[in-house]
A and B are shown apart, each in its own frame.
Chain A
Amino acid sequence: MTAIRIDDLHSATSLSHLDMLESQAVFIMREVAAECERPVLLFSGGKDSAVLLRLAEKAFRPGRFPFPVMHVDTGHNFAEVLAFRDRRMADLGEQLIVASVEESIRSGRVADPGPGASRNRLQSVTLLDAVAAHGFDACIGGARRDEDKARAKERVLSFRDSFGQWDPRNQRPELWQLYQGRVRPGEHLRAFPLSDWTELDVWSYIAREQIELPPIYYAHDRAVIERDGMLLAVCEWVRPRPGETIFEETVRFRTVGDATCTGAVRSTASTIDEVIAEIRTSRVTERGATRADDRFSDSSMEDRKREGYF
């Protein structure tokens, strides 16, 4: 542990931008932990949830986390991400719950969209079932307002009715830092400590804190196919269709999600600093570059969120 130098802190405005974001996120996590009876932290294995775990350490160590960690597992995972998840959870010594989309399909809760089809949307059902089964009243997630135009509208503490629905036309007023976290049985909250962080803030924080990520965030050689203008990694669930050919590319991932709809970007950025330099000059948003599911409709994120998506 290194002591903070006093002259770094001589005035409120001299708190760096990252210090302020960190402090706010820690504040939000503590409010949720204190106001809600059974919160849970959602962990996808991606960079935003890796940052959330570090912020939870900052908020609650030397104590244990006052909530379990839950992975909503589509079954379409990158092996590197699962390995990272298990390694990280073992290091932290915290409880991991896995809510499985595979299980929801097997038990008939959702229809199998077929091999190779995205299970992104199905996650909402699995998530809401897990929320009900465990009696969670708050899900802490890593979504950011800069990711999408519907998310740009969402509160830090975002209310979900007893059907798990978000009503963007009728959100609770949320003034100052007065996060109001009470809900009735059956209702729950989504809490977004990273609301005001941008992709660049997240990476700058990863650099500052030396946060480990799954290696697929850095440039590596991979067998890919091109589909709908995106590079998809060839794996068990992604096979070339007629007319598509497999080729080798140097790529990295900007987001991590269901392997069937998360695209890779051509990149040679193999260190944190190189990634930051790349993001600074990128002319395409993170979701625009990598998410097939958001390309088809103008309001796909809003629709998914209304149904209970992250």
Chain B
Amino acid sequence: MDLLRFAIIGSVDDGKSTLIGRLLNDTRQLFEDQIAALEAVSRRRGLSEVELAFVTDGLRAEREQGITIDVAYRYAATPRRKLVIADCPGHVQYTRNMATGASNADLAVVVVDASAGLKEQTRRHLCISALLGVTEVLLCVNKMDLVDWSQEAFERAVEEVEDLADHLTITGVTAIPISALHGDNVAEPSDRSPWYGGPTVFEALDSAKVGEPVSGGGRMPVQWVVRHRDGRAYAGMISGGPLRVGEEVLVLPSRRSSRIASLSTFDGEFEEAWPGQSVTVVLADDLDVARGDMLAAAVDPPDTVTELEATVCWFADRPLQAGDRYRVKHTTRSCAAIVQAVEGRLDVNHLKVGPAERLAANDIGLIRLAVATPLAVDSYRRNRTTGSFVIVDESTNATLGAAMVGQPVMSPV
């Protein structure tokens, strides 16, 4: 049984939370006490029917305002796989929370309102998801009941999203006409769309292809130095590879080399370790290795840089501009950084990076950064872990932006 992590994205009020509520309800994955609580709160708020969006809109402010503010995580299953669902907010003000939910997703479920055109916020969400590395999209054309189940309206929406996907690094779009409110084509096929012969949302989630994560050369950022009987050992999570016993590795940024003498966990020793595993490494030589350093396959190491170019999603109200000082957290290392230049801002409607002096809240842009300590980086396209970092306020410690090493990959419309 495998695992599918998906983020449900799209513009505000297009029906994302309603869809999750509907999906869980109609596949009997809500519990009796949850249903009773939903009925009670809906009644108390004077609604004639159960508000399905309240399945995930669990905060008081969300229920009062009828919008999602922050990501809700839900755990469910299809016959073939486990699902980790991130129900993201659509409102532009909460783009930071949408990015949080999409950053670990294998698949994006995009909800668009059939009765409205493709909105700028939907384009932004698709851009961010593609930049974050999501290559598969499940498009749910929602509120089909409002357009009399018009096949034309459905096809228009699909065409708009496919057009956009062609310019992004999205390789697959599966499209389904639905009504989240009434449950058509969500868990059960609908007889209101005789012209549609494809899967329901539930079936599509069950069978969605998920791109294998690119793992490239062996890497392990050092998290924790363990004092061992025979010297020191280094604990961390493998983030590329495999790494194998006997293999030559470089300690970055110092570039000293050694061999892996052993790989182990609490449960024993083994010969190779794969991305996602938390392990402990002993090296053949006694080198100076600390938290924040990286062990990397000597045959294929990342670049060690003090200046880099990165694609940034900026979340803070205070704009980002040249000369700003921040702290960055990259893998297990934190260091000071100075913005050398804002090289451009992405126009999400035309997918062009145009000139800009600064990035405002919810902008996506390209920046050049100087860092106080050398960082071992891959391009984000090659490695999501060694190619990403966050930008942090030095005094408040607030997370202000998320950055991906390299230029945005997309072609202008």
Contacts and interface: CB of A to CB of B under 8 A. Distances in A.
Interface of A: 1-4, 6, 9, 11-13, 15, 17, 19-20, 22-24, 26-27, 30-31, 33-34, 57-63, 145-146, 148-150, 152-153, 155, 168-169, 171-178, 180, 182-184, 195-196, 198, 282-285, 288-289, 298-299, 302
B368 to A, nearest CB: 21
Interface stretch (B111-119, B138-146, B263-271, B343-351): B263-271
A120 B66 CA distance: 30
B277 to A, nearest CB: 5
13 contacts: A6-B271, A17-B1, A17-B3, A146-B75, A148-B58, A168-B59, A172-B399, A173-B315, A176-B104, A180-B399, A184-B396, A196-B75, A198-B75
A168 B329 contact: no
Given A2-B268, A302-B59, 15 more contacts: A12-B275, A15-B274, A17-B1, A34-B224, A58-B265, A62-B229, A63-B226, A168-B61, A169-B69, A175-B99, A196-B75, A282-B31, A288-B31, A288-B34, A302-B60
A183 B399 CA distance: 12
B228 A152 contact: no
A17 B2 CA distance: 7
B71 to A, nearest CB: 7
A30 B267 contact: no
Contacts of A19: 277
A173 B274 contact: no
B224 A33 contact: yes
Contact of B332 (A34, A60, A298): A34
B399 A3 contact: no
A171 B291 CA distance: 27
A2 B268 CA distance: 6
B369 to A, nearest CB: 16
A57 B397 CA distance: 30
Contact of B59 (A57, A150, A177): A150
Interface residues of B, number: 73
A26 B1 contact: no
B178 to A, nearest CB: 23
A23 B210 CA distance: 21
Nearest to A172: B399
Contact of B266 (A17, A57, A182, A183): A57
B100 A175 contact: yes
A33 B278 CA distance: 15
B82 A3 contact: no
Which of A31, A145, A155, A174 has most B Cβ within 10 Å? Answer: A174
Contacts of A283: 31-32
B405 interface: no
Contacts of A146: 74-75
A302 B59 CA distance: 7
B409 interface: no
A183 B397 CA distance: 6
B268 A196 contact: no
Nearest to A148: B58
Given A152-B74, A175-B103, A285 B399 contact: no
Contact of B402 (A17, A145, A175, A285): A175
Contacts of A173: 96-97, 99-100, 315, 390, 399, 402
A178 B44 CA distance: 40
B267 A178 contact: no
Interface stretch (B167-175, B246-254, B381-389): B381-389
B7 to A, nearest CB: 12
The 9 closest A-B pairs by CB, nearest first: A149-B58, A288-B33, A175-B103, A3-B268, A26-B278, A58-B266, A182-B397, A23-B278, A173-B96
A63 B280 CA distance: 12
Contacts of A153: 58-59, 70-73
Interface in B358-413: 384-385, 388-390, 392, 396-399, 402
B59 A3 contact: no
A30 B390 CA distance: 19
B84 A196 contact: yes
A275 to B, nearest CB: 17
A12 B210 CA distance: 13
B342 to A, nearest CB: 20
Which of B37, B224, B235, B272 has most A Cβ within 10 Å? Answer: B224
Contacts of A299: 59-60
A152 B1 contact: no
A17 to B, nearest CB: 6
B72 A27 contact: no
Contacts of B73: 145, 152-153, 195-196
Contact of B267 (A2, A31, A63): A2
Interface in B284-339: 291, 315, 329, 332, 334
Interface string B51-65: 000001011110000
A61 B226 CA distance: 9
Given A12-B275, A302-B59, A34 B291 contact: yes
B276 A23 contact: yes
Contacts of A2: 267-268
A183 B223 CA distance: 19
Given A15-B276, A26-B278, A152-B56, A177 B74 contact: no
Interface in B62-114: 69-75, 82, 84, 96-97, 99-100, 103-104
A13 B33 contact: no
A9 B270 contact: yes
A55 to B, nearest CB: 9
Interface in B1-52: 1-3, 31-34, 37, 40-41, 44
A184 B392 CA distance: 13
